[in-house]
Structure 1
Amino acid sequence: MKSDFDLVRLLGPTGVVPDNQINAWPPEDLQMRVGIPHCGGKLAIHAFNSGYPVMVSANAFFNHETGQFDIPQYSPLQDLDVALDSAGYVAMMNFKAKGRQNGVGGIYPWSYSQYLTLAYLLRPRWFSSMDLCCEPEATNGGIDTDWRIRATATMLEALLQIIEAWQQEYARDCSASTVENDLRAPVPVIQGWTCEEYAESLDLTMEVWERHGWLAPPALLGLGSVCRRDLHHPKHGLFAILDGLESRLPKGTKIHCFGVKGAALDRVKMYPFVASCDSMAYDYGARRRAFASGISNSMEHRSSEMTNWMQAAEARMRPQAGDQFRLSFFEAA
């Protein structure tokens, strides 16, 4: 098997690859993942001590000097409920600042196989597919949106083809259950700016997903590029997008919303198909408040801001008197 990783082989060979493979196990209740900007360190330790599930970016592990991912022998992240983000927004910003990169599409600095190797060695709860964000600043005001949506689906196809080939090789020496456990499928990410664009991205994503018969319908699907937008805009607001996607999602599929504002949680919790969200708003707030107060933005200050933000987010997500929870589209049908 020609790959960059060496996996522990527990059972005997079967030659059988997994069938009906599930890509994730979403939580029963709405979950907030706190963003960690490092591959370890005090913020991760604080998240562990506080019992917070976390989101970490692949970029936190990438060494731009060597062009490789550096995975520490031990990190507090290994003891956490961690999800791995492919760092599409960071890749776009680096591309704009530095020009063509050496990896996927000339935008990412790493290859498909490098990213999958990171995911399989880190062993997160789930990892996202690679994607191209569609904020207006990334699309020349919308000119490149269609291309970026199609490229996101193409990246998913490439990842699934590699995973399938690796599984076939790995199955020569391992049981199907070991293959399934060690070589997981990603959480696909749909992209766009307007509701119609997200619907197009969903259709393309499902067209790709359904070509791979070894996969079950996605249990979890990512909704990208939602942090820098007006929540209530009738075309590109988060709630308009969630309303528009509800009837189009595959039965049983839930959504992870990348970068949700805390102010959105009072309403996001009303959507039964939204499984989880993540945010690094606490860290931005920590920098701003430290500057305004003339104090050091120390790890202790950032940790305290993390706690305050997460406590407020968890309070917003809890059911309150007068909440009007929605029936899911499938339940109503």
Structure 2
Amino acid sequence: MNGETMGMPVGQVNAILDDELVMRIGIPHRGGRLAFHAFAQDYPAMVSANAFWNPTKREFVMPVATDLTEMDFALDSAGFSAMTLWQRKGRQAGIAGVYPWTLEQYLEFANQCGARWHAVPDFCCEPQIASNREEVDYRVNATATMLESALRLTYEWQNKLARSMTAREVANMIKPVVPVLQGWDRDSYLRSLDLTMQVWERWQPWLAPPALIGVGSVCRRSLNHPTHGLYAILSGLEGRLPKGVRTHLFGVKGSCLAELKMMDWIASADSMAYDFGARVKARESGVSNTIKHRSSEMSRWMSAASARLRPAAGDQFRLSLTH
């Protein structure tokens, strides 16, 4: 063991981040030609846990061969997919009767699949799922409770491993989750942040302060609404995030990237917009939505996103308001 002692790691970081804003392209599959195209183009990716779930076997399945293992990809907990499945089919066998998998199954897979980081299972707040304030509040509370459960389980697993492994080996095998903020308007997101930090701080110094926190439920909203628009939410979070914390935005419109690049506390974002656009264009043109067509739309979307993220004359990078 090279002189290292057995024991629990301390000060663990939940994500290793790049300095620049990273745009992750959504991959709806666990492999195949669409993933190969992203790999060939060297695109960072976001993959939903749902892509790996086998409902017949009731377990996660990682392909023996997939280009994802050679890529920089992060793992989304598939909260929106789980909620829509629950709405359509009723109570599920997993987390809170909403997810089809248990927390243990998800965290075990997340730590074995090779993802750069993995998001905590959350409870999304889009209007078609949470139609009033009480439902939003419930999902904000449930998301914080899920973070507590995930950290408690991670601690238990690490504590068992620490009996026969060094702290470094333990930390490399089981990594802490990336918390996710939920809500619909600015105030509910700020309450979610407060709850998240209350949970996280109870687990320090076993954990370092979170390097990365996700911001969920942002893809189906306007940009400029004064209370629940994306910019209103980000403006509220900007002054409340603890010093050094950066964020990942789950599902963003490409049109906002020129603004987001000037917020240095946003580490990354992801989008599946190219795939929706591919379906629309194929239908309007009367052609098949082939993998070749979808791959072409992926490249077109990422090229436009890269152009928006490049420095441009007149950019005014905002001073951080975090404290």
- TM class, shorter-chain normalised? over 0.9
Whether 1:257 and 2:246 are equivalent positions in the alignment is no
- Cα distance in 1 between the residues matched to 2:2 and 2:131: 52
- Cα distance in 2 between the residues matched to 1:131 and 1:86: 7
- Cα distance in 1 between the residues matched to 2:270 and 2:255: 13
Change in Cα spacing, 1:286 to 1:19, as seen in structure 2 (3 Å) is: same
Whether 1:177 and 2:168 are equivalent positions in the alignment is yes
Structure 2: tracts of 5 or more residues without a match: none
- Cα distance in 1 between the residues matched to 2:224 and 2:242: 25
- Cα distance in 1 between the residues matched to 2:197 and 2:276: 35
- Cα distance in 2 between the residues matched to 1:186 and 1:161: 11
TM-score normalised to structure 2 length: 0.97
Task: Report the residue type matching 1:68 in the other structure.
Answer: E
* Structure 1 segments of 4+ aligned residues over 6 angstroms from their partners: 10-13
CA contact (8 A) 1:11 1:174 kept: no
Deviations 1:188-222 (A, max 9, x none): 00000011100000000011111112000000000
CA contact (8 A) 1:134 1:193 kept: yes
Matched residue SS, 1:329: coil
Structure 1: tracts of 5 or more residues without a match: 1-9
Task: Report the residue type matching 2:97 in the other structure.
Answer: G
Whether 1:42 and 2:42 are equivalent positions in the alignment is no
CA contact (8 A) 1:14 1:173 kept: no
- Cα distance in 2 between the residues matched to 1:104 and 1:14: 36
Matched residue SS, 1:173: coil
1:181: Cα distance to partner?
A: 1.2
Change in Cα spacing, 1:63 to 1:11, as seen in structure 2 (3 Å) is: farther
Matched residue SS, 2:134: coil
Residue matched to 1:319: 311
Residue matched to 2:47: 56
User: Structure 2 matches for 1:69-80, cutoff 5 A?
Assistant: 69-80=60-71
Residue matched to 2:101: 110
- Cα distance in 2 between the residues matched to 1:301 and 1:177: 45
Whether 1:122 and 2:116 are equivalent positions in the alignment is no
Selected match of 2:131 from 140, 156, 165: 140
- Cα distance in 1 between the residues matched to 2:193 and 2:295: 37
Residue matched to 2:261: 269
Selected match of 1:15 from 1, 6, 27: 6
Residue matched to 1:295: 287
Deviations 1:93-115 (A, max 9, x none): 00001100000100001001100
Residue matched to 1:232: 224
